[in-house]
Amino acid sequence: MRIISGKYGRRRFDVPTSFKARPTTDFAKENIFNVTGNLLDWEGLDALDLFAGTGSISFELLSRGCRKVVAVEKERLHASFIFKIARELKTEDLTLIRGDAFRYIQSASKESFDFIFADPPYQLNELSGIPSFILERKLLRKGGIFVMEHPKEYDFSSLPYFDQRRVYGSVNFSVFIKEEERKDA
């Protein structure tokens, strides 16, 4: 796992081979961060990384200047790895929640974020409902961006706030932007 840019840029961490997680490739991660980085300034933002896996996205967000990152990961070994890397980086800006992402979304009614990233397991039965679930819970602040990584079979273009789909090799991202509400004249 490699952190691409920012204060931890070019740092590498060996992910145990026993992990079930399918980390976002460096190529795809670099490209989606280029796209989203053109839409917002990371400095001082609050971010949520759902289905955090190795924590690669969480650490990239911290490296680029996010004020706070909440990483939600269910698997004990993966959560332990994220905790270990956070200690190595000596960061206190990461809040690790070892638990189910859906339960977190339901219980996080008082929290909201400028940026949300979700990379659920591709075989997850509830995968198709994740964008609606997140957007309905009002976790995303006005002007915020939500990125969902998913298999190519899924099309979220009919959902509210959908902005674009990006494809990098076999990795697909749907990008949602919660624009400021417009007042019609």
CATH number at residue 162: 3.40.50.150
Residue type at 9 in one-letter notation: G
Residue 185, pLDDT above cutoff 50:
no
* Residue 164, φ and ψ in degrees, nearest 5: -165, 160
Residues 1-29 have a mean pLDDT of 87
Confidence of residue 110 (pLDDT cuts 50, 70, 90): confident
Helix pair 26-37, 56-63: axis angle to 10 deg: 40
Averaged pLDDT score across all residues of the chain? 92
Q: Residues 57-85: what's their mean pLDDT?
A: 97
**Cα–Cα distance between 35 and 97 in angstroms, integer?**
27
Question: Does 68 map to a domain?
Answer: yes
23, part of any domain? no
Is 17 domain-assigned?
no
Take residue 71 and report the two structure tokens written for it.
């990483």
In a domain, residue 142? The reply is yes
Residue 107, domain extent: 43-177
- The answer to whether residue 15 sits within a structural domain is no
Say what the pLDDT of residue 182 is: 46
With respect to residue 163, please indicate whether it lies within any of the assigned structural domains. yes
In a domain, 86, yes or no: yes
* 94 neighbors 38 (Cβ within 8 angstroms): no
What count of other Cβ atoms lies within 10 Å of the Cβ of residue 126? 10
Count of domains for the chain: 1
* % the chain with pLDDT above 90: 81
Percent residues over pLDDT 70 in the chain: 96
pLDDT tens sequence across 160-174:
999 999 999 889 999
| pTM recorded for the entire structure | 0.94
**pLDDT for the residue numbered 48:** 98
- Could you give the 3-state DSSP secondary structure of residue 67? coil
d(CA 14, CA 24): 14
Answer yes or no: is 13 within a domain: no
